[in-house]
């Protein structure tokens, strides 16, 4: 028996103020899948993710999916240096969305959750360092830990490799592969193709207001995404 999708769009037109950005979107995300949400800048990737998460209503069609504990990893984050936040404090910010809304368990579990998330992200040794003192690559690992600390059912990675040197990109990709291997459900937004090609189990390619999606093996061997991938090599 096929497992029901965690998130499901069917015949969905999505966008803002009755103006569709994407039309006739069909997409089903199941537990344990690692999706690449790919397309050029301005193709509607963020709009798609917001709709999948229930932050934007469909203009037409339908969205199905129960509320999920989600972790979010942005491209990068600038915290005003006037706030002397440690790495542990930054990571702890992600816990309040994932645990019970009244925080009854959070105070007891939070230190161990923060330590575990930092360890999973390969940044445990940075726990007591000021966040403002870190390099770009170190900050990104801390933001990954913040996304993990609430024990997410779904991890959303929003172009997490943007603006980071090649060596750090490779180390983060290796980290994300461990998430894939352990079956963490994830969406990764990217405007690139080649660097992350081997990471995804499934791909959604966005272009000209439409979505083409399917298993990564098929998507990277035929159709439009194949053409774009070959052009990048």
For the purposes of burial, counting CB atoms within 10 Å of the CB of 181, is it exposed (0-12), middle (13-18) or buried (19 or more)? exposed
pLDDT > 90 fraction of the chain, expressed in percent and rounded: 60
Query: What is the overall mean pLDDT for the chain?
Result: 86
Res. 37: pLDDT tops 50: yes
The pLDDT value recorded for residue 87 is 95
Closest-CA residue to 190 (of 216, 156, 214): 156
Give the three-class secondary structure for 131.
helix
Q: In whole angstroms, what is the distance from residue 7 CA to residue 106 CA?
A: 27
Q: Tell me the backbone φ, ψ of residue 220, rounded to 5 degrees.
A: -90, 0
pLDDT for the residue 118: 97
Instruction: Please give the radius of gyration of the chain, using alpha carbons only, rounded to the nearest integer.
Output: 18
Question: Phi, psi at residue 198, to the nearest 5°?
Answer: -80, 0
Contact 81, 132 (CB under 8 A): yes
Residue 19, helix vs strand vs coil: strand
Half-sphere exposure of 193 (CA within 13 A, CB side): 21
More confident residue, 80 or 149: 149
Q: Is 49 left (phi over 0), alpha (psi -120 to 50) or beta?
A: alpha
Please tell me the predicted confidence (pLDDT) of residue 97: 59
Phi-psi region of 20 (alpha: psi -120 to 50; beta: other; left: phi over 0): beta
| Among candidate residues 209, 210, 198, 207, the one with its CA nearest the CA of residue 227 | 207
Task: Output phi, psi for 42, to 5 deg.
Answer: 85, 10
Which residue did the predictor score with more confidence, 80 or 167? 167
**pLDDT at 7 (0 to 100):** 94
Identify the three-state secondary structure at position 207. Answer: strand
The answer to whether 160 touches 189, Cβ cutoff 8 Å, is: no
Q: How far is CA 114 from CA 90, 99, 201, in A?
A: 9, 13, 28
Q: Which residue has the higher pLDDT, 221 or 148?
A: 148
Phi, psi of 60 (to 5 degrees): -145, 165
Q: How far apart are CA 48 and CA 50, in angstroms?
A: 5
What per-residue confidence (pLDDT) applies to 2?
Answer: 61
Do the beta carbons of residue 30 and residue 7 sit within 8 Å?
A: no
Q: Give the mean pLDDT of 199-218.
A: 92
Where are the domains positioned within the chain?
7-232
pLDDT, tens digit, for every residue of 79-136? 666 668 999 999 999 887 554 544 445 567 889 999 999 999 999 999 999 998 998 8
Q: What is the pLDDT of residue 228?
A: 66
- The phi and psi torsions of 44 (rounded to 5 degrees) equal 110, 15
Residue 10 is predicted with a pLDDT of 95
CATH architecture of 7-232: 3-Layer(aba) Sandwich (3.40)
| Residue 1 pLDDT | 47
Q: Is residue 66 pLDDT above 90, yes or no?
A: no
Q: What is the pLDDT of residue 178?
A: 94
Q: Where are the alpha helices (DSSP H) in 121-210?
A: 136-148, 166-181
């Amino acid at each position: 028996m096929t497992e029901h999708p965690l998130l499901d769009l069917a015949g969905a037109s999505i966008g803002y103020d009755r103006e569709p950005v994407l039309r006739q979107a069909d997409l089903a995300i199941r537990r344990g899948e690692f999706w690449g949400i790919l397309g050029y800048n301005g193709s509607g990737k963020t709009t798609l993710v917001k709709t999948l998460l229930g932050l934007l209503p469909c203009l037409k069609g339908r969205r199905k999916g129960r509320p999920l504990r989600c972790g979010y990893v942005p491209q990068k984050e600038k915290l005003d240096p006037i706030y002397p936040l440690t790495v542990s404090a930054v990571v702890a910010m992600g816990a309040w969305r994932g645990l019970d809304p009244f925080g009854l368990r959070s105070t007891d579990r939070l230190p161990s959750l923060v330590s575990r998330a930092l360890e999973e992200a390969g940044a445990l040794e940075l726990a007591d360092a000021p966040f403002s003192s870190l390099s770009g690559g170190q900050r990104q690992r801390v933001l990954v830990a913040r996304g993990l600390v609430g024990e997410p059912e779904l991890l959303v990675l929003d172009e997490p490799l943007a603006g980071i040197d090649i060596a750090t990109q490779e180390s983060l990709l290796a980290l994300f592969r461990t998430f894939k291997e352990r079956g963490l459900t994830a969406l990764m937004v990217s405007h690139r193709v080649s660097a992350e090609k081997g990471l995804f189990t499934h791909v959604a390619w966005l272009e000209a207001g439409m979505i083409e999606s399917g298993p990564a093996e098929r998507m990277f061997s035929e159709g439009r995404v194949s053409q774009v991938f070959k052009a990048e090599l």
